[in-house]
Amino acid sequence: MAVFNDLPTEIIEDILQRCLPSFFNRQDSGTGSVDEDYDTHGFPEYDVLFTSGYSSGSYSRDILHPACMMSVCSRWMDVVSKSPRLWTQLDLDASKWTGRLDILKTFLRRSKVMPLSIKLKLLRPSEDLLVEPQYKSIIDVLRKEFHRLRDLSIFIKGLDPNILATHLFPMGYLTEFTILENFVAAVQGRWYGSAYRSLLGMINAPRLKTFMVGLNLDYFWDLLLPSCTASISKLQIDFREHPSRDALERLAECRNLEAFVWSQNGYGVPRSLPSDCYFSHLRKLTLTLTNLTQYTTVTEHFHTPQLQWLAITGHYEVPFEWSSRFLQKNSQLEELRIVCLGVRADARYIFTHLPGLKTLVLSYCDPSSEFLSSFLPSKDDGSIMLPNLRTFVVGKFAVGIVVDPIIIDLIQKRIEHSPHGWGPRFVIMTTTISPFLSDKLKDIERTYPHALHIQNTSSESEPTHW
C-alpha cells in the first residue's frame, strides 16, 4: 500500500477510475457467432445499455463505491474527494435515499461540472408504503443536474409511472438535456399512460443518440421535440396503442437510425404512415407485429436498403408468409431471426429472394416438415436454397413441441451437398428431443463436429419482449 500511495495523484486516480464498474456499454458487439445467445430477439449490445453497476444501490455496502474508497486511508480520501470523474456515475435506488438528500447533494457536488451517468430505480418497498412524495424530492434534486446528464436509465416497479413522469417532466416546463446521449426507461407492471400525455412537459435533447422505452412508456416518445430525432441512431419503442400521427411523423425524421426495435402489441394500427420512412443507414431491425395490416404498412412505408440483421417476432397464429413482401424488398439481408411465428408452409418462394443470407434462426417456432423440406436439395437439379448459409439455428421450441425427424435428413443432405462436407453449422436448442432422435444427432455431431452443435436447455419459459 505504501508503494501504491507513493504514486503520483494522477496515476492513483486513473487506477481507481478503472476499478469502478461502467454503467453504460459503449462497445457494439457483432452478431452471427455460433456461441452467441440465439435466444436474443433484439440487439444484444443494445438491449441492456446499462450494466449492473453498483449492485446494492447503497454506497455503504459497495466496496467499489468512491465513498468506500475514501475510508481506506487518508491518502485515498484526499485523492477520491478531489477527483470529480470518480463521482460521475450514480446508481440510485430511491428507496434507500429517502431522508438522505444532503448526502446525495454532496455526491453530486463532488462531480463538479463533469458529465453524469445516472441509473435511477423507483421501486415500492412495500405495498402499504406511500413513497411518491419522498421520491419527488429526490427527482427534484436530480432535475437540477439534467443539463449535464450524458446517460439516464429509469426503471420503475410497483408504482404508477405516470405520476412519477409528472415529476420528471412537469407540465409547462421544457426539460433541457443539453448533452444527453442515451435515454432508457422501463416499467414493470401493467399501467396505461396515454391519458397523462397532456400533463407532461416537452423534452429537448439535441445530442440524443439512443432512445429506448418499454411497454406503457411509449408516450415518452411524444415528449421529444421534433429536432431531437435527427441524431438518434438507436431506437426502441414498444407501442401498446395506436401510435399518434405526430409520433409517426417524428419516426420518419429519424434519418440516421442504425438499429431500430418497432413493437406494435396492440391490434390498432395506422392504415398508412403519414410519410415514408427512409432509413438509409439502418443495419439492424426488430419487428413485433400482430396482424397483416401492420405487415403491409411496414412493407409499403419502410425503406431499408442497408439492412443486414432482421428479427421478426409475433405470436404462433401469425404466419411467417405475412413477412414475405418485406423480405423480398431486402434481398441484401445477412441474418434473419424468426420468433414465435407459424412456419408451416413451403418457404422456397420467400428464401429464393435472400441469396446472401448467412444466418437463419428459428426460435420458439414449430417448423413443419413442409417448411424444413424447403431447405433440402432440389430433386430436379440438386440445387439448394440459401447456398451461402453458414449458421442454421433451430430452437428454442415452444413448450411441448419436439424436433421434427426431418431435421436429421436435412442436416445430412446439406453436409453431403457441400464441398468437402462443409455446409452450414446447425445449432439445435431444445429439451424435447426423443431418445432415438437424440442418438442420431449425437452420431452426426461426432462425425461432423463442425456441422452440428446440440445445446440442451433446461428453461421452458416463453420468450419475453422488453
In the chain, what are the domain boundaries? 1-17+42-114, 142-307, 334-466
pLDDT digits (tens, 9 = 90+) for 124-156: 877 656 777 888 999 999 999 999 999 999 999
Distance (Å, rounded) from C-alpha 374 to C-alpha 361? 15
Query: Which segments of 318-460 are extended strands (E)?
Result: 335-339, 359-363, 391-395, 425-429, 452-455
pLDDT at 359 over 90: yes
Residue 21 phi/psi, 5-degree rounding, is -70, 150
pLDDT at 115 over 90: yes
Give me the long-range contacts of 138-142 (CB less than 8 A, separation at least 24).
138/92, 138/94, 138/97, 138/98, 138/101, 138/104, 139/164, 139/167, 139/168, 140/167, 141/101, 141/104, 141/105, 141/108, 142/92, 142/118
212 or 442, greater pLDDT: 212
Of 111, 119, 189, 106, nearest to 155 (Cα)? Answer: 119
pLDDT range class, residue 402, cuts 50, 70, 90: low
d(CA 465, CA 398): 16
CA distance 295 to 319: 11
Tens-digit pLDDT profile for residues 408-455: 888 888 888 776 555 688 888 765 667 777 788 888 888 888 888 887
Q: Is residue 458 predicted with pLDDT exceeding 60? A: no
How many whole angstroms separate alpha carbon 451 and alpha carbon 392? 10
- Facing residues of 210 across strands? 182, 234
Q: Residue 147 class from Cβ within 10 Å (0-12 exposed, 13-18 middle, 19+ buried)?
A: middle
Is 183 exposed, middle or buried, given 0-12, 13-18 or 19+ CB atoms closer than 10 A?
buried
**Residue-level pLDDT at 403:** 63
Instruction: State what percent of residues in the chain have pLDDT above 70.
Output: 79
More confident residue, 399 or 393: 393
- Summarize the confidence of residues 64-76 as an average pLDDT: 81
Question: How far is the C-alpha of 254 from the C-alpha of 236, rounded, in Å?
Answer: 12
Mean pLDDT over 385-403 rounds to: 74
8 Å CB contact between 100 and 126: no
The dihedral region occupied by 241, where left means phi > 0, alpha psi between -120 and 50, and beta the remainder, is beta
Residue where the block lists cell 400533463: 199
Which residues 6+ apart lie within 8 Å of 238 measured at CB?
213, 214, 215, 217, 218, 261, 263, 265, 288, 465, 466
**Residue with the three cell numbers 440442451:** 456
pLDDT (0 to 100) of residue 157 = 87
pLDDT for the residue 272:
56
Q: Which amino acid is at 303?
A: H
The span from the CA of 386 to the CA of 424, in Å, is: 10
Cell numbers describing residue 209: 443518440
Amino acid making up residue 319: P
User: DSSP labels for 55-105?
Assistant: TTS-TTT-TTSHHHHTTS-HHHHHHHHT-GGGGSEEEEEGGGTTT-HHHHH
Task: Output the pLDDT for position 75.
Answer: 86
What's the pLDDT score for residue 420?
Answer: 56
Question: Grid coordinates representing 41?
Answer: 430477439
d(CA 193, CA 191): 6
User: pTM for the full model?
Assistant: 0.85
Residue 278: predicted pLDDT? 92
